[in-house]
Amino acid sequence: MQIVNEIIEIQTEPDICIFNVTPQIAEIVEAHSVQNGHAIVLSRHTTTAIAINEYEERLLEDVKVYLDKLVPKDAYLHDDLHLRKNIPPDEPMNARSHLMAMMLGTSEAIPIVDGKLALGTYQSVLFFELDGPRKRTLLVQICGE
């Protein structure tokens, strides 16, 4: 069994934005000729997330509205920067982004069957930027044979 670790880099945009990273993950699977196994996708940041769902423009807008309702732009303790110790001078007020990331999750495991990601017809692997713009990285670990 081989284990492969690859990094996907993404330059994100401001606010909440959602990227379809399925093609990049599929390329990694194909490049390493894994026929059966799994791909684990990990968002390596505390204000980003990974989910599997449909990548459809109107649904993505609904998701943004839904997240805004669940985690409103209110005052959060984490955003009291003057009360926190040892923070960098460019620290953003981003408690809301942390909360959304915890709700959505930071990783997904996708089976690989016959050399392809075993996603359903309308499923895509979605990367959520919740505190951009920033340069972000995803770790993709492929295990299989």
Secondary structure, 3-state, the chain: CEEEEEEEEEECCCEEEEEECHHHHHHHHHHCCCCCEEEEEEECCCCEEEEEECCCHHHHHHHHHHHHHHCCCCCCHHHCHHHCCCCCCCCCCCHHHHHHHHHHCCEEEEEEECCEECCCCCCEEEEEEEEECCEEEEEEEEEEC
Amino acid, res. 72: P
pLDDT of residue 24: 98
pLDDT of residue 2: 95
Domains of the chain: 2-75+92-144 (2.60.120.460)
Q: How many CB atoms lie within 10 A of CB 136?
A: 20
pLDDT of residue 89: 87
pLDDT of residue 144: 97
Q: How far is CA 4 from the centre of its chain?
A: 19
pLDDT of residue 90: 86
pLDDT of residue 74: 85
Q: How many CB atoms lie within 10 A of CB 6?
A: 17
Both tokens assigned to 93: 């007020």
Per-residue pLDDT 10s for the chain (145 aa) are 999 999 999 999 998 999 999 999 999 999 999 999 999 999 999 999 999 999 999 999 999 999 999 999 888 999 999 889 899 888 899 999 999 999 999 999 999 999 999 999 999 999 999 999 999 999 999 999 9
Amino acid, res. 113: V
